Amino acid sequence: MRLGKDAKIELLRNVPLFSGCSKKELRELAGRTDEIDLRDGYVLMREGRPGREFVVLVEGSAEVARDGKKIAELGPGDWVGEIALLTNVPRTATVTATSPIRVLVVTDRSFRRLVETMPSIALKVLASVGDRLARDAKS
C-alpha cells in the first residue's frame, strides 16, 4: 500500500535534517519524493561513488558497510544520503537491502529545485547541519 502525503510528511519530519521545516515546506518536499519498492540484496548506495539521492526507509531493513565492514543496520524511519543533498562528495558507505524494502527517495536535483522556489528550507537545513557539526565537534 502506498503512503499518503501526510504519512510522507511525518516520515520527513522525523529526519533531523528537516525537523525545523514547516508543514508547508514538508508538504512541498513530500510532493517531490518518489516511493520505490526494491528487492533484497539491492545496493542503494556504493561507497566511493557519487551521491545523487537521499533515502528514507519506509519498510524493510538495510545494512550500512564501510570498507567491507558492517557499521549499522537500518529499519523503517531511518535515512541515508543526506550529504548528497548538500555536497558533491563521494558516498562514505555502501548501503544494501537485507530484505525487500520500500523507500522514499529525494534526488539532489529535485531538492535543489525546491530550495530555489522555497529558500527558507535551505536556511533550516543549514541550521540543522550546523547544529550537528557543533555537536560532533564537542565529542
19-45 pLDDT, tens per residue? 889 999 999 999 999 999 999 999 999
Amino acid at the residue 139: S
* pLDDT tens digit sequence for 41-96: 999 999 999 989 999 999 999 999 999 999 999 999 898 988 877 888 899 999 99
Residues in the chain, total: 139
Please give the Cα distance from 28 to 114 (Å, whole number).
8
- Given a contact cutoff of 8 angstroms between Cβ atoms, the answer to whether 63 and 73 are in contact is yes
Please give the Cα distance from 47 to 131 (Å, whole number).
25
Residue 111, φ and ψ in degrees, nearest 5: -65, -45
What is the grid cell recorded at 89? 562528495
Q: Could you give the 3-state DSSP secondary structure of residue 95?
A: strand
pTM: 0.83
Domains of the chain: residue spans and CATH: 5-133 (2.60.120.10)
